[in-house]
């Protein structure tokens, strides 16, 4: 029997919540304004010789525990710069996940290399080491491991693959600030690694990115590449190789500097709240909170739920609609747009440079990869099952309680049919 308290809002019942959730906008204030004012009053807004950018790079390298950090204009620019520092030949292959933003693969295509999509672990959203291993060829030049949704991928397995085949690892840490893998922070394990400062990330300057590495030669090549290949040293030779203009501005770095002072608090709070929500959602049929490997943590870019329709008895779309009606922010994983990257036209139809389809049909490529349905079946299922629940550092325990109550209310309604 359905009581008034258990009747779903979509069926005319009272919603769990009617007040708005807190906004992240309150995370920007006097600290950012003070840093910006210093830049404006200095009259120097360019990064070349800029004090704010140099401070960001110094602080961030110390924070992660690496020798070098380079601030650039976006997370996409950071990933392109990292791959360009490794310097693949046209037609070389780079393995990565199809469950990611296009920014992960733009640099691969721009360098004339071939994106090779490996599958994800069953029921998860990180690369499956076995699938990566199965996709290694003599042309594999790098593996980009994406730490999705604030949780680390299995770095023990990927570092073993890297050592066995001599293939460098690039960590894409855009969604995983201060996340650890068995005591080591992500970004400190691969050969050259990247973070994003885009608006939705744990900290932001609107747009921006960071490249970090312990390798002196890669750091120097990355720094040149992101500055048009311009060797600015006294003994420099002008433009020793082709590069891009990916310079960050002092204005972006000023905001980043203020945000860096808040990062550890932000990540600590997100871990606390996300773990609390998991405690409240364990045991629901067809609804799976994230699972953490022993010795690892999660800093929750958002809160992911996996909805298994066969067990829930209702579709993911029904679940999202019902939870939203209860006053809780919820949606399909928008970063995927509901499907793995390789199903979009840029890959399935080769829409890149004019009518050339380059680099997919490059004469220098050793094979032609067919991007289409069935390429990565676990990833395709994950894209259909994942739901993004709102969560950030300004939520309260009460907000988490309301979120859990709404999900449980909807789950119970689904069980009753």
Domain-by-domain residue ranges, the chain? Answer: 30-262
d(CA 385, CA 287): 10
Q: Can you give the pLDDT at residue 1?
A: 47
Whole-model pTM: value is 0.96
CATH classification (class only), 30-262: alpha beta
Angstrom distance (rounded) from CA 121 to CA 103: 22
Question: What is the distance between the alpha carbons of residues 272 and 394, in angstroms, rounded to a whole number?
Answer: 12
Instruction: Report helix angle 103-110 to 75-86, nearest 10.
Output: 40
Sequential pLDDT tens for the chain (417 residues): 455 678 999 999 999 999 999 999 999 999 999 999 999 999 999 999 889 999 999 999 999 999 999 999 999 999 999 999 999 999 999 999 999 999 999 999 999 999 999 999 999 999 999 999 999 999 999 999 999 999 999 999 999 999 999 999 999 999 999 999 999 999 999 999 999 999 999 999 999 999 999 999 999 999 999 999 999 887 777 899 999 999 999 999 999 999 999 999 999 999 999 999 999 999 999 999 999 888 899 999 999 999 999 999 999 999 999 999 999 999 876 544 578 999 999 999 999 999 999 999 989 998 999 999 999 999 999 999 999 999 999 999 999 999 999 999 999 999 887
Distance between CA 324 and CA 313 in Å, rounded? 18
Predicted confidence at residue 337, as pLDDT, reads 54
Burial of 54 by CB count in 10 Å (0-12 exposed, 13-18 middle, 19+ buried)?
middle
């Amino acid at each position: 029997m359905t009581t008034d308290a258990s009747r779903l809002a979509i069926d005319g019942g009272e919603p769990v919540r009617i007040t708005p959730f807190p906004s992240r906008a309150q995370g920007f204030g006097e600290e950012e304004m003070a840093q910006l004012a210093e830049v404006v009053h200095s009259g120097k807004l360019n990064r070349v010789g800029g004090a704010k950018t140099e401070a960001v790079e110094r602080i961030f390298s110390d924070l992660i525990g690496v020798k070098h950090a380079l601030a650039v204009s976006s997370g996409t620019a950071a990933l392109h710069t990292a791959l360009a520092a490794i310097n693949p030949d046209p037609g070389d292959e780079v393995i990565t996940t199809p469950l990611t933003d296009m920014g992960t693969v733009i640099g691969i295509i721009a360098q004339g290399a071939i994106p090779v999509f490996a599958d994800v672990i069953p029921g998860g959203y990180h690369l499956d080491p076995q699938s990566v291993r199965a996709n290694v060829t003599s042309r594999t030049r790098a593996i980009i491991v994406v730490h999705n949704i604030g949780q680390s991928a299995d770095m023990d397995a990927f570092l073993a693959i890297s050592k066995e085949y001599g293939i460098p690892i690039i960590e894409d840490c855009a969604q995983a600030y201060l996340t650890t893998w068995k005591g080591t922070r992500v970004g400190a394990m691969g050969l050259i690694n990247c973070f994003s400062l885009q608006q939705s990330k744990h900290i932001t300057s609107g747009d921006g990115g960071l490249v970090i590495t312990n390798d002196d030669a890669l750091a120097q090549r990355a720094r040149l590449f992101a500055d048009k290949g311009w060797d600015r040293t006294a003994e420099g030779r002008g433009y020793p190789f082709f590069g891009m203009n990916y310079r960050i501005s002092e204005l972006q770095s000023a905001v980043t500097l203020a945000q860096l002072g808040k990062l550890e608090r932000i990540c600590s709070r997100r871990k606390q709240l996300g773990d609390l929500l998991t405690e409240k959602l364990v045991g629901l049929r067809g609804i799976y909170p994230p699972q953490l490997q022993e010795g690892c943590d999660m800093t929750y870019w958002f809160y992911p739920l996996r909805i298994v329709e066969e067990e829930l008895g209702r579709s993911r779309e029904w679940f999202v609609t019902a939870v939203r009606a209860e006053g809780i922010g919820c949606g399909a994983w928008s970063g995927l747009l509901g499907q793995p990257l390789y199903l979009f036209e840029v890959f399935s139809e080769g829409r890149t440079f004019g009518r050339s389809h380059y680099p997919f049909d490059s004469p220098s490529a050793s094979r032609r990869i067919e991007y289409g349905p069935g390429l990565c079946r676990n990833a395709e299922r994950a894209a259909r099952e994942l739901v993004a629940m709102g969560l950030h550092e300004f939520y309260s325990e009460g907000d988490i309680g309301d979120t859990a109550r709404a999900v449980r209310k909807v789950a119970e309604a689904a069980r009753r049919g």
